[in-house]
Amino acid sequence: MMTRSYWHQQDRAPAISCDVAIVGAGIAGASTAFWLKKIEPALDVAVIDAAEVGTGASGRNAGFLLQGIATDYLTDIDRYGRKAAQRLWQFTMENRQLLESELDPSAIDLERTGSLIVAGSDEEDERLRASVAPLRADGIPAAYVPPEKVRERTLSRGFFGGLNVPSGAMCNPLRLVQHILQMSRAQLFERHPVEEFKTAAGDVHLLTRSRTFRAAQVLIATNAATISGVERPDTLIRPVRAQMFSTRPHSPRRLPMPLYSHEGNYYVRQLDSGELLLGGARHQHADDEVGFEDRVTEPVQDALRDYLQRHFPWASGAKVQRRWSGTMGFTDDGLPLFGEVSSAPGSFYAGGFNGHGMGMAFRFGKLLAELLLNRARPAFADLFAQDRLNEQAVSLAE
Ligand SMILES: Cc1cc2nc3c(=O)[nH]c(=O)nc-3n(C[C@H](O)[C@H](O)[C@H](O)COP(=O)(O)OP(=O)(O)OC[C@H]3O[C@@H](n4cnc5c(N)ncnc54)[C@H](O)[C@@H]3O)c2cc1C
């Protein structure tokens, strides 16, 4: 943290007071603001961001609105237990339904295409196929797509079978976060990096270079970034880099839905205007693809290019137009979390969507709003409360 002179101190804008201040104008912060104002319209809510709305991962992702956590249900069941796996899928399905019922689908370019998860190996194929029965038994519509149908529907080669989830969808993620914030009617303060979190006389003070925000309660929704004064272990939400590229408009649309493959390590979609958007390949370079540095690297970009050529011959001549990266927040068990700030009861931090924020965060914002409003323990809170990580022995399945 930098020191501040007497003159800088004198030059500060007047402090702003509000009921709830949210730090971070990504999908998590925006969604929480939306639900706070929906539940308590008179509440004074301020959203503060170091940069602009959606500058972080929320404006840099592929816009896949996937269902579930891992790509196949069996893996979720192995990891979390049957009951928790079912509830996690239910959570993402609610997220999808709420996006549709609470927002204007045309404002976020929502495409109700379903999603297609395809296998890169025999073994993955088997797990996708075997996921169908438990998914259906648990009330989640899904269908196995045999390899020849995968080839036919996506004009691809080299994949095995796949899993079609009809409630999967895609959207324009930057418009989504902008739209949620606009609908929330919360006050927005961009270009205000919060440097310090302090408590004084029962309030929280958030110090930025130019002004202080005073709030009765605060939500820190800064993804993997930490803030001085908030006791949160650095490793709780780890920064992990993801890279993407987009091509020039290449061909009429041939890929009708978001396609996720190789255990979710690659993801590709095509826009109506013909551009292809492709991301992933970090699993081959996992040790390098960590931290907050915003840059693209040749090995990952080359791997993405190879993937496109290998699996989509019709797209092999597509010219890459834009390359970019973003920071995802990863947790030890693959699930997002919230925790209470120890020095400020009633204030929370939240994040760690493990690359699935679009599929979860609107519903997660509802949960966070209920927590901040001190409603009875909100539904699903047991799945995401940080304490679960301190008690690894206690399985989510219980
Ligand atoms: C390349 C890429 C592709 C992805 N594809 C998908 C996908 O298709 N589907 C999907 O579901 N998920 C995807 N994800 C993951 C998804 O983008 C994230 O899970 C989600 O955006 C996280 O939202 P967030 O609000 O927690 O964080 P962010 O969007 O990162 O928002 C955090 C905000 O906090 C602000 N901030 C940080 N520090 C401070 C401070 N000190 N003071 C004030 N403000 C601060 C930042 O400026 C930022 O705006 C992808 C991610 C990446 C990077």
pLDDT tens, position by position, 301-335: 999 999 999 999 999 899 999 999 999 999 999 99
Ligand 1 atom nearest to CA at 29: 25
Which residue ranges make up each domain of the chain? 6-59+175-235+334-390, 113-167+237-330
The answer to whether 151 touches 157, Cβ cutoff 8 Å, is: yes
Dmax of the chain from CA atoms? 71
Is 49 near ligand 1, meaning CB less than 6 Å away?
Answer: yes
Kindly state the DSSP code that residue 318 receives in the 8-state scheme: P
Average pLDDT, the chain: 94
The mean pLDDT value for 368-384 works out to: 94
In a 10 Å sphere around its CB, with 0-12 CB exposed, 13-18 middle and 19+ buried, how is residue 122 labelled? exposed
CATH T-level topology, domain 113-167+237-330 = D-Amino Acid Oxidase; Chain A, domain 2 (3.30.9)
58 CA: nearest ligand 1 atom: 21
Q: How far apart are CA 355 and CA 38, in angstroms?
A: 27
Run of H or E residues at 136: helix 122-137
What is the phi/psi pair of residue 127, to 5°?
-70, -40
Please state the rounded mean pLDDT for residues 285-313: 96
88 pocket-lining for ligand 1 (C-beta < 6 Å): no
Token match 């992990």: residue?
A: 240
Only one residue has tokens 């590709």, namely: 268
Determine what percent of the chain is predicted with pLDDT higher than 70.
98
Helix (H) or strand (E) holding 29: helix 27-39
- Identify the residue whose C-alpha is closest to ligand 1 atom 37: 222
Closest CA to 150 of 271, 259, 307: 259
Within a 13 Å sphere around the CA of 192, how many CA atoms are in the beta-carbon half? 25
* Distance separating alpha carbons of residues 89 and 317, to the nearest angstrom: 38
pLDDT digits (tens, 9 = 90+) for 131-179: 999 999 999 999 999 999 999 999 999 999 999 999 999 999 999 999 9
Say yes or no: CB of residue 380 within 6 Å of ligand 1.
Answer: no
> Would the pLDDT of 229 be above 70?
yes
228, 195 Cβ separation under 8 angstroms: yes
The 10 Å CB-count burial string (b at 16+, else e) for 204-221 is bbbbbeeebbbbbbbbbb
- Candidates 23, 32, 95, 328: which one to mutate for ligand 1, based on the most atoms within 8 Å of Cβ? 328
Question: How many angstroms is it from 42 CA to the middle of ligand 1?
Answer: 28
* Identity of residue 189: F
- Pocket lining: 170 vs ligand 1, CB cutoff 6 Å: no
Atom number in ligand 1 closest to CA 325:
1
The reply to whether ligand 1 has any atom less than 6 angstroms from the CB of 344 is no
pLDDT band of residue 117 (cuts 50, 70, 90) is very high
- DSSP assignment string, 33-82: HHHHHHH-TT--EEEE-SS-TT-SGGGTS--EE--SSSSSHHHHHHHH-H
The residue whose CB lies within 8 Å of the most ligand 1 atoms, and thus the one to mutate among 222, 246, 368, is 222
Atom of ligand 1 nearest to the CA of 193: 42
6-59+175-235+334-390 fold: FAD/NAD(P)-binding domain (3.50.50)
How far apart CA 193 and CA 246 sit, in angstroms, is 30
pTM higher than 0.85 = yes
CA distance 251 to 249: 6
Q: What is the pLDDT of residues 176-211, one digit of tens each?
A: 999 999 999 999 999 999 999 999 989 999 999 999
24 lines ligand 1 (CB under 6 A): yes
CA distance 15 to 10: 12
| 271 contacts: CB under 8 Å, gap ≥ 6 | 253, 277
